[in-house]
Amino acid sequence: LHAFAFVRFRGVEVALRVGRDAVLAGELAGLAPAVAEVGQLRERLAQLHDKRRRDAEEAIRLKAEAEKRARADEIARHLESARKAIGRQRFDDALEALRQASALDPNASGMAELVASAEAGKAALEAEAKKRQEIDTQLNQAPQHLTKGHLTKAIVITDVLLGLDPNHPAGKLLHE
């Protein structure tokens, strides 16, 4: 008859067949190869576990690098979009692209300069629009005063108009 001894290592159960006579006689020398094999299996499992851990760590590192590159590429796309929008004087679009880039990295290289440029451009366009509106208002009022015979008011308005835009052709014509 034979007896079986079971050894469990990391979920693997290994059956060791032990002869009854050998156990009774105290001759356990027959178990030495099985015990050595269990030791080798343990060592191999430990190596596989270490390799799996290293592979997982490498995968995490590679994923982090890929995400960092993707974020940098996205920031660069937003900044380039802002540069192009500034060049086309689409300052609201530029500021939106810069807001998106800032959400990814508020300290991105060149961000502050682009924001300042877009804000200054937007302010200049708004000032120019306001100036044009004022010019249009003055242009509409001057002829009305002339037709009513209010020459002094018409001259003041044309002076204001020429103050806003010294080269404005209608302002020059009205002033003469």
Residues 84-106: pLDDT tens digits?
Answer: 999 999 999 999 999 999 999 99
- Give the separation between CA 16 and CA 22, rounded to whole angstroms: 13
Mean pLDDT of 129-138: 81
- Alpha-carbon distances, residue 142 vs 1, 119, 138, 147 (angstroms): 125, 34, 6, 9
d(C-alpha 62, C-alpha 147), whole Å: 79
Q: Is the pLDDT confidence value at 115 over 90? A: yes
- Residue 46's alpha-carbon distances to 30, 31, 38, in angstroms, are 26, 22, 12
The better pLDDT of the pair 6, 77 is held by 77
Average pLDDT estimate for 142-164? 73
Of residues 22 and 135, more confidence is placed in: 135
- Whole-angstrom CA distances from 121 to 127, 153, 175 are 10, 35, 32
Instruction: Tell me how far CA of residue 64 lies from CA of 51, 145, 163, 173, in angstroms.
Output: 20, 72, 60, 68
Q: Are strands 2-9 and 12-19 parallel, antiparallel or unpaired?
A: antiparallel
pLDDT of residue 30: 57
Residues 6+ apart with CB under 8 A from 168: 135, 161, 162
pLDDT class of 143 with cuts at 50, 70, 90: confident
- The span from the CA of 170 to the CA of 32, in Å, is 111
Q: pTM (2 decimals)? A: 0.57
List pLDDT tens digits, range 1-38: 445 455 555 555 555 544 444 444 444 555 567 667 87
pLDDT value for 170: 63
Distance CA 100, CA 88 (A): 19
Q: Which pLDDT score is estimated for 25? A: 45
